[in-house]
Amino acid sequence: MAQADPLSMEGSHYTKWLSESGVNYQGNVTTEWIIAQAHTTCAMLDQTPTPTTYQTTVSRLVGEPGNFTQQEAKSTVYSAIQSYCHDHINLAFS
């Protein structure tokens, strides 16, 4: 039987942050999908690090396929920033 690749240290931190924030993505999307969203969030913020882009990263996660509420989407983006692109943490508070 094939085994899944182990999570990177950042991936482990990210999924831990999600759990601690009350974001329950399991059953809706895969761990790979949620980690890909974190990388997309950071790429978007790297390209255009503005409050508007931050809000766009949150808005794109609301609803399907993860079925996230606005608060879950905010927590998902915050967790991504904490784990993968900490340089953008100021945007979470703007």
Q: How far is the C-alpha of 89 from the C-alpha of 17, rounded, in Å?
A: 14
Confidence of residue 2 (pLDDT cuts 50, 70, 90): very low
Mean pLDDT across the stretch 30-55? 97
Is 2 or 57 the better-scoring residue by pLDDT?
57
Confidence of residue 64 (pLDDT cuts 50, 70, 90): confident
Burial of 83 (0-12, 13-18, 19+ CB in 10 A): buried
pLDDT at 7 over 90: no
Burial of 34 (0-12, 13-18, 19+ CB in 10 A): buried
pLDDT at 47 over 70: yes
Q: Map out the domains of the chain as residue ranges.
A: 30-93
**Which pTM value belongs to this model?**
0.89
Percent of the chain exceeding pLDDT 70 equals: 94
41 neighbors 18 (Cβ within 8 angstroms) = no
Q: How many Cβ atoms are within 10 Å of 1's Cβ, its own excluded?
A: 2
User: For residue 56, what pLDDT is reported?
Assistant: 97
